[in-house]
C-alpha cells in the first residue's frame, strides 16, 4: 500500500484534548527522525520507510476514516514497529523522547494552570511560557491564570486591528470637514458591560475593553472632523460584516507575535484588551520649580506607575539645596529630596499590580547640586527605584576637551546666574569613579540628542529628558510605544546548510510592525489627559530589534569584526529607512502627525545622524528620494526607531537581548541534585555537530564566565564567532552601539561591559570615545561593581582564563578618525595599557549576594543587561519596555 492510498484510508486523528485534526504522515516521520538523530543515525529515508510501516499497521488494526486513531494509538504502534524492525536502540530513544515530551506537556500545563495545551503553548518552549504566566496572562481575584497564551495574543492583535478599521475609506476622510456627535459615541462608555463580546470582526470578538478603545478612537477622529458616519452607523456597519476583511489584518498581527518574529513592549501585552488599557512603556514628566506643578507631576507619576509605565524626569529646574525660597523665606531642600518623594511613590504603587515602576532621574552638569547627585547612589539602599544620569551639553564638553584649565561654571536654576566655578576634569573624574564603583550615574549627551532634533522647532525647546533606560528621549507628557523585531528568525537556510539573512522579509516585517505601533497610539488608554494630547501630537514610535547576537552566530560572523559592524550598520539603516518610508505611506492615507508642519521636516531635515555624517557612497538606501517624499506628503510619526531593552521580550521570543552580545553561552542553574546547565541553543547545536558537546565541556565553559575563549578543545573559529559580552572589549561595545546609533532616530539601550580590573580612568576614556562616536548616552557596568551584587552567575567557581583586547577595527578608528588631542591621548593611553598588559587577570570568585540584589519575584540572581537588571529565571525586569 503506497502513502497516498494509506492517507486516503486514514485522514483524521484524535488529539489528547478530544479534538479531531487532519492526519499527517510526515509528523510520524519527523518523530522517528528525531529518535534516529538521538542515536546518531539521522537518516530521513529510513524515517520515511518506518513511518510507512507504522501507517500500514494502523490500517491492519482497523483504523479507518470512520475510526480515527488517537495520538497515543499512533505512538504505541511507532514503538512496536521500531522494535519489530530490529531497531531496539531507536525504539529506546523514541520511548525516552516520548517520555520527555509527556513530561514537558505536563510541566507546561502546570505552569499555565491548564488542562490542555493551545497551539501557542505547544510551539513556545517552557521558559517562554513561564515568563508569559508570571507577567502577562490575565488572572482572576484568586490570582489564578484565566487565559491561554493564544487568547492573550488574540486580545492584543484585535486591539491593534481596531486601529486599522477606523481608517477604512467607508468611514474615514483625511481632509476633516465633517461634523459628527462625539457625545453620542461617549454615551456608550457608560454601558460598556452591555457590549462585552457583542461585536466581532470576522471570527474575532471584541470584549468591552476593545469596545472602549473603538469609542475613544472614534471620538478622537470625529473631533478632527474625519468621521464620515455617526458612531451608531459605524456599529451598524460592523454588525453587517462590512469590516470583516480586517480579520486578515488581525491574523497578521497575531501571527507576527506567535511566530516570535515581533513583540510589542511589555505594557501592551499586559494591558491590551484589559481594564487598564495602557500600552506605552516610556513617559517623561516635567519638574518645574513650583510646588503645585511638582505635586501634579508626582500625582501623574503615580498614575503612570499604576498603569504599567516608567517615568523619566529632569530635576535640573529645581533650585539648589540651601537656596532661599522667596515666598516663605525658607531654604530649598534641593532636587535630590524631591527624587526621594518619587522614589517612595514608586515603592508603594505597583505597576499594573505586576511590578514596581522604574525611573530615570537626570541632573544637568551645570546644576549646583550635581556633585551631591553624582555620589548619592554609591551607597546601597539609596534611590533603589531610580536609574540616574548626568546631562551633558556643549558648554561642558567644550570645557572638558578644549580647555587646559577646564574651568566650568555652575549656575542657579532660578536665574542662571553663576553660583561657583568648578573644574570640568574633576567633575568627569567624579562621575567616572562613581560609575566604576556602582554602575551609576550614566551620561546623557543632550548635545548629541538635539543635534538633529527636527521636533525642537515645533516645541520651541530642546529635549531634556529620557525614559528610565535612557534609549527614548521625550518632551514632558510625551509617551512612546516600543516594539522589537526578532532578527534571528529572519534567516533562510541555503542548499549547503549555511544561513543567509532574508532582507526582503525584513522589509516586509518593518512595514507591518511600523503600522502596528502607529495603531497602538490610537487605541491606547492613556493614564493622564496631557499624555493623550502630547502623544498624538508627535505620534512617536520606537521600532527596534532583538536577536542580533544570535543572528550573527547563525551567520558565523563575529560580533566585534568589521564584517559584524558592517552588517549591524546595514540592519539599522534598513530599519529606519523602511519604517520612515512606511510612515510616509501612512501619512498619505491617514495624515501626517499634527505638529509636522511646524517641524524641520518641511525644510528637508531628518533626525538621522548617519544621513549627514556617513559618506553618501556608503549609504545603502535612497535617502534623498525619501526626504522628497516627506516634503511632499509629510510623515506620520516624528521618529520611528529605538533600540530598547528586550530582557523579558527576548525570553518570550527565545533570542538574545536587543543588539547586545550574548550574556553567556553556558550558565549554571543551581539545583540540589548536582550541576545543571543552560546552553545557548545555537552554540549547543554547533558543539554537537562537531562532536564536542559533553557535560564536562559545559562545566568548563560555565567556569570560564560562560565563554569559549581560551578553552583548548574548542577550535579558534568558534572562539572568534561565538563571543559573549565579556569577550568583547569595552571599546568594541561602544563601536557596536555607535554603528546602530548612526541610523537610529532615538537612541540605544546598551550596557558597556567592562572587566573587574579596569580603572576609573578607563571609564572616563569610554565617555570620551562614546561622545566621539556620536552616542546619545552611555551606561557602563564594571563586572563585580554595584554593591555586593555578582552579575555573572555563570558558575559557582567562575574564573576568566583569557584576555580581552580591542579589535583592529576600533584601534584603527581611534588612530585615524579622532582629531581632538585631549580625547585621542586619553583613549589611546587607555587602549595601549591593555595592549601591553600580557598578564591574564583572574576575576574574583563569587561573592556573597546581597538580598536586595536578588530578583524580587523568585529570589534568583539578577543580571545587568541593556542598562537595567533582569532575572534570567523568571523574566522580572527593572525596566518597563521589555
* Residue 293 grid coordinates: 506643578
> Would residue 722 be called left, alpha or beta, if left means φ above 0 and alpha means ψ between -120 and 50 degrees?
beta
- The three-state secondary structure class of 476 is coil
What would the DSSP string read from start to end of 175-219? T------HHHHHHGGGGGGGGTT--EETTEEP-HHHHHHHHHHHH
Phi/psi of residue 711, nearest 5 degrees = -90, 115
Q: How far apart are CA 841 and CA 801, in angstroms?
A: 8
Q: What distances in angstroms separate CA 152 from CA 17, 62, 155, 214, 258, one per listed residue?
A: 20, 41, 5, 19, 10
C-alpha distances in Å from residue 44, one per residue of 37, 50, 97, 493? 10, 10, 17, 18
- Report how far Cα 255 is from the mean position of its chain's Cα atoms: 19
| CA 567, chain centre distance (Å) | 20
Buried/exposed code over 668-706 (b: 16+ C-beta within 10 A; e: otherwise): beeeeeeeebbbbebbbebbeeeeeeeeebbbbbbbbbb
Q: Residue 201, exposed/middle/buried by CB under 10 A (0-12, 13-18, 19+)?
A: buried
Nearest residue to 253 via CA among 135, 164, 169, 130? 164
Give the 3-state secondary structure of residue 830. helix
Q: Of 387, 467, 519, 753, which is the active-site residue?
A: 467
Question: What are the CA-CA distances from residue 647 to residues 142, 152, 720 (Å)?
Answer: 28, 19, 25
Residue 90, Cα to own-chain centre: how many angstroms? 42
- The terminus-to-terminus CA distance of the chain in angstroms comes to 54
Among this protein's residues, is 471 annotated catalytic? yes
Residue 108 to residue 767: CA distance in whole angstroms: 46
**Location of C-alpha cell 506643578:** 293
* Beta strands at 499-501 and 359-364: parallel, antiparallel or unpaired: unpaired
Q: Tell me, rounded to whole angstroms, the distance of Cα 553 from its chain centroid.
A: 19
Please tell me which residue in 440, 471, 573, 866 is annotated as part of the active site.
Answer: 471
Exposed, middle or buried: residue 234 (CB in 10 Å: 0-12, 13-18, 19+)? buried
d(CA 777, CA 249): 37
557 contacts: CB under 8 Å, gap ≥ 6: 563, 564, 567, 721
Question: How many CB atoms are located within 10 Å of the residue 844 CB?
Answer: 13
Among the listed residues 128, 282, 469, 596, the single catalytic one is 469
CB neighbourhood size of 61 (10 A): 12
In sequence order, what are the beta bridge partners of 643?
748
**Cα separations (Å) of 491 from 134, 261, 548, 598, 686?**
30, 11, 12, 41, 17
DSSP 68-107: PPBHHHHHHHHHHHHHHTT-HHHHHHHHHHHHHHHHHHHH
359: left (phi over 0), alpha (psi -120 to 50) or beta: beta
The burial class, CB within 10 Å (0-12 / 13-18 / 19+), for 37 is middle
CA 34 to each of CA 39, 56, 94, 654: distance values in angstroms, whole numbers, following the listed order: 9, 21, 8, 21
Instruction: Name the E strands within 536-673.
Output: 541-546, 666-671
Asked if residues 360 and 372 have their Cβ atoms less than 8 Å apart, the reply is no
Give the closest residue to 779 by CA, choosing from 753, 759, 805. 753
Residues labelled catalytic: 467, 469, 471
Amino acid at each position: 500500500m503506497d502513502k497516498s492510498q494509506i492517507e486516503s484510508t486514514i485522514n483524521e486523528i484524535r488529539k489528547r484534548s478530544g479534538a479531531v485534526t487532519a492526519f499527517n504522515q510526515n509528523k510520524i516521520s519527523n518523530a522517528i527522525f528525531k529518535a534516529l538523530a538521538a542515536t546518531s543515525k539521522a537518516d530521513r529515508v529510513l524515517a520515511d520507510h518506518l513511518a510507512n510501516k507504522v501507517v500500514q499497521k494502523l490500517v491492519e488494526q482497523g483504523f479507518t476514516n470512520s475510526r480515527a486513531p488517537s495520538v497515543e494509538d499512533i505512538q504505541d504502534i511507532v514503538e512496536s514497529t521500531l522494535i519489530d524492525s530490529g531497531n531496539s536502540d531507536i525504539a529506546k530513544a523514541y520511548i525516552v523522547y516520548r517520555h520527555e515530551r509527556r513530561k514537558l506537556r505536563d510541566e507546561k500545563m502546570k505552569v499555565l494552570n491548564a488542562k490542555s495545551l493551545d497551539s501557542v503553548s505547544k510551539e513556545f518552549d517552557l521558559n517562554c511560557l513561564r515568563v508569559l504566566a508570571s507577567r502577562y496572562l490575565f488572572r482572576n481575584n484568586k490570582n489564578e491564570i484565566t487565559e491561554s497564551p493564544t487568547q492573550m495574543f488574540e486580545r492584543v492583535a484585535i486591539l491593534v486591528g481596531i486601529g486599522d478599521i477606523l481608517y477604512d475609506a467607508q468611514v474615514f476622510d483625511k481632509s476633516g470637514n465633517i461634523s459628527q456627535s462625539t457625545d453620542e459615541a461617549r454615551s456608550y462608555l457608560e454601558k460598556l458591560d452591555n457590549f462585552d463580546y457583542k461585536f466581532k470582526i470576522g471570527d474575532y470578538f471584541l470584549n468591552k475593553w476593545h469596545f472602549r478603545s473603538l469609542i475613544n478612537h472614534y471620538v478622537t477622529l470625529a473631533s478632527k472632523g474625519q468621521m464620515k458616519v455617526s458612531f451608531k452607523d459605524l456599529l451598524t456597519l460592523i454588525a453587517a460584516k462590512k469590516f470583516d476583511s480586517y480579520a486578515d489584518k488581525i491574523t497578521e498581527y497575531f501571527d507576527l507575535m506567535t511566530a516570535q518574529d515581533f513583540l510589542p513592549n511589555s505594557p501592551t501585552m499586559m494591558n491590551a484588551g484589559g481594564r487598564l488599557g495602557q500600552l506605552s512603556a516610556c513617559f517623561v514628566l516635567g519638574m518645574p520649580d513650583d510646588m503645585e506643578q511638582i505635586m501634579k507631576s508626582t500625582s501623574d507619576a503615580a498614575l503612570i506607575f499604576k498603569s504599567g509605565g516608567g517615568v523619566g524626569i529632569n530635576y535640573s529646574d529645581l533650585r539648589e539645596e540651601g537656596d532661599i525660597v522667596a515666598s516663605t523665606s525658607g531654604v530649598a531642600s534641593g532636587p535630590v529630596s524631591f527624587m526621594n518623594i518619587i522614589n517612595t511613590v514608586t515603592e508603594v504603587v505597583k505597576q499594573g499590580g505586576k511590578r514596581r515602576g522604574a525611573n530615570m532621574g537626570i541632573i544637568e552638569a551645570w546644576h549646583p547640586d550635581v556633585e551631591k547627585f553624582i555620589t548619592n547612589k554609591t551607597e546601597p539602599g539609596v534611590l533603589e527605584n531610580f536609574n540616574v544620569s548626568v546631562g551633558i551639553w556643549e558648554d561642558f564638553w567644550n570645557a572638558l576637551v578644549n580647555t587646559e584649565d577646564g574651568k566650568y561654571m555652575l549656575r542657579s536654576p532660578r536665574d542662571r546666574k553663576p553660583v561657583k566655578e568648578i573644574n570640568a576634569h574633576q567633575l568627569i573624574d567624579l562621575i567616572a569613579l562613581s560609575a566604576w564603583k556602582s554602575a551609576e550615574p550614566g551620561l546623557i549627551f543632550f548635545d548629541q540628542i538635539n543635534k538633529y532634533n527636527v521636533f525642537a522647532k515645533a516645541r520651541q525647546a530642546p529635549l531634556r529628558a529620557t525614559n528610565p533606560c535612557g534609549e527614548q528621549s521625550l518632551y514632558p507628557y510625551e509617551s512612546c510605544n516600543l516594539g522589537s523585531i526578532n532578527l534571528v528568525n529572519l534567516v533562510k537556510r541555503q542548499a549547503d546548510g549555511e544561513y543567509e539573512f532574508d532582507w526582503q522579509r525584513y522589509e516586509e516585517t518593518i512595514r507591518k510592525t511600523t503600522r502596528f505601533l502607529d495603531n497602538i497610539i490610537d487605541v491606547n488608554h492613556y493614564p493622564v489627559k496631557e499624555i493623550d494630547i502630547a502623544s498624538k501630537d508627535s505620534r512617536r514610535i520606537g521600532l527596534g530589534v532583538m536577536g542580533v547576537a544570535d543572528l550573527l552566530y547563525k551567520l558565523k560572523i563575529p560580533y566585534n569584526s568589521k564584517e559584524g559592524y558592517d552588517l549591524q550598520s546595514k540592519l539599522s539603516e534598513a530599519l529606519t529607512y523602511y519604517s520612515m518610508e512606511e510612515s510616509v505611506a501612512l501619512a498619505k492615507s491617514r495624515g501626517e502627525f499634527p505638529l509636522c508642519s511646524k517641524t524641520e521636516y518641511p525644510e528637508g531635515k531628518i533626525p538621522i545622524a548617519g544621513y549627514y555624517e556617513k559618506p553618501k557612497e556608503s549609504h545603502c538606501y535612497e535617502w534623498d528620494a525619501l526626504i522628497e517624499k516627506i516634503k511632499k506628503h509629510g510623515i506620520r510619526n516624528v521618529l520611528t526607531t529605538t533600540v530598547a531593552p528586550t530582557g523579558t521580550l527576548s525570553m518570550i521570543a527565545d533570542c538574545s537581548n536587543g543588539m547586545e552580545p550574548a550574556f553567556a553561552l553556558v550558565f549554571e542553574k543551581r539545583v540540589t541534585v548536582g550541576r545543571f546547565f543552560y546552553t545557548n541553543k545555537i552554540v549547543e547545536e554547533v558543539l554537537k555537530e562537531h562532536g564536542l558537546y559533553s557535560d564536562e565541556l559545559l562545566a568548563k565553559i560555565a567556569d570560564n564566565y560562560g565563554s569559549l575563549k581560551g578553552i583548548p578543545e574548542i577550535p579558534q573559529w568558534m572562539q572568534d564567532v561565538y563571543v559573549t559580552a565579556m569577550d568583547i572589549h569595552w571599546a568594541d561595545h561602544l563601536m557596536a552601539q555607535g554603528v546602530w546609533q548612526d541610523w537610529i532616530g532615538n537612541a540605544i539601550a546598551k550596557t558597556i561591559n567592562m572587566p573587574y580590573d579596569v580603572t576609573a580612568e578607563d571609564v572616563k576614556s569610554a565617555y570620551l570615545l562614546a561622545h566621539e562616536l556620536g552616542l546619545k548616552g552611555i551606561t557602563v557596568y564594571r563586572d563585580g561593581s554595584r554593591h555586593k551584587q555578582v552579575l555573572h552567575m555563570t558558575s559557582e567557581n567562575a574564573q576568566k582564563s583569557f584576555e580581552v583586547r580591542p579589535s583592529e577595527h576600533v584601534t584603527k578608528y581611534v588612530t585615524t578618525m579622532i582629531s581632538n588631542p585631549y580625547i585621542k591621548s586619553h583613549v589611546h593611553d587607555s587602549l595601549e595599557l591593555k595592549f601591553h598588559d600580557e598578564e591574564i587577570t583572574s576575576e574574583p570568585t563569587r561573592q556573597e549576594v546581597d538580598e536586595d540584589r536578588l530578583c524580587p519575584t523568585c529570589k534568583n540572581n539578577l543580571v545587568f543587561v541593556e542598562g537595567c537588571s533582569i532575572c534570567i529565571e523568571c523574566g522580572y525586569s527593572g525596566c518597563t519596555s521589555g
